[in-house]
Amino acid sequence: MNIIVTGAAGFIGSRLVAGLNREGASGIIAVDNLENSAKFTNLATGEIDDYLDKRDFLERIARGDFDGSIEAVLHQGACSDTMETDGRYMMENNYRYSRRLLDWCQEEEIPFLYASSAAVYGAGPVFREERRYEAPLNVYGYSKFLFDQCVRARLPERTGQIAGFRYFNVYGPNEAHKGRMASVAWHAFNQFLESGKVKLFEGSAGYANGGQQRDFVHVDDVVNANLWFLEHQAVSGVYNCGTGRAQTFNDVAVAVANGVRESRGEGRLALAELVAAGAIEYIAFPPALVGKYQSYTQADLAALRAAGYAGEFRPVEQGVDEYVKGLIAARSPAAAPTHG
């Protein structure tokens, strides 16, 4: 039997493949779109049995090629660009594609675990898995919201596990290909290496400079949640997947700057000291983001905990520090491959 991971060359998908490898899973079929070929490096260190383009995959499902041979589908593939304005593309890629997979998994009576998003909540301020708190600010959030509604309607008569995860602000290894949609931690790290400073937005929506707050969650904690649900197939539903903590962008910048400083043998500095030294700089809030920006997010984990998941989620101070150390190690000469 095989496990299908869609978006397998992407950020979360590739870390899921790595997590499945650690758990000893075999027969992984990776599905993705490698038009952005830079993503292939995310899969190069993993072990898969086969790779399929996402369009070929749907055609093969329609032909019945995989009937009776799949153990579960972990659906991570999506357009995650919150600034994408092509609604037709977004709905076909994120909503319609997901519905086809859901229908097939229900026909096959196999688990379907999929990526939703905290973008369904819009400006908040309550982030609980209830319809009254859901008001997406962009078509990306709407595509995720609408599919979640489809799932909710199907849950009472499901034939196999259906579990959706509303990811909050995920950061960690394998996100370099995401460009402008990469995490705050990724951008802060590269800014600090290149210019010696991290740029954050000035105060907005009542928050101080760099004081906007998000629920920043490490990608491997997200993977752990997915793998737990895969092992507990009696549990279905739509769940928040974040730390349950709102931390500031300043917190991320401080963790990044101090992580790099420590790698150079320099001492750690507090926020005020980093600002005074010019290592953190505040820039004007972009007019294009007014009314489209989440200044605050914090996952309500009550439903996730009630479902039985007791896994821990790293705070920014720990998770970003680990991430920075990994990024620095990957840049060191010792990490470079050798050729005989």
| Residues catalogued as catalytic | 140, 178
How far CA 95 is from CA of 91, 92, 98, in Å, comes to 5, 6, 5
What is the rounded CA–CA span in Å between residue 13 and residue 42? Answer: 9
- Number of neighbouring beta carbons within 10 Å of residue 261: 16
Contact (Cβ atoms closer than 8 angstroms) between residue 247 and residue 257: no
Show the tokens assigned to 143.
């595509």
* HEC assignment per residue over the chain: CEEEEECCCCHHHHHHHHHHHHCCCCCEEEEECCCCHHHHHHHHCCCCCEEEEHHHHHHHHHHCCCCCCEEEEEECCCCCCCCCCCHHHHHHHHHHHHHHHHHHHHHHCCCEEEEEEHHHHCCCCCCCCCHHHCCCCCHHHHHHHHHHHHHHHHHHHCCCCEEEEEECEEECCCCHHHHHHCCHHHHHHHHHHHHCCEEEECCCCCCCCCCCEECEEEHHHHHHHHHHHHHCCCCCEEEEECCCCCEEHHHHHHHHHHHHHHHCCCCCCCHHHHHHCCCEEEECCCHHHCCCCCCECCCCCHHHHHCCCCCCCCCHHHHHHHHHHHHHHHHCHHHCCCCC
How far CA 180 is from CA of 164, 176, 177, 226, in Å, comes to 25, 10, 9, 26
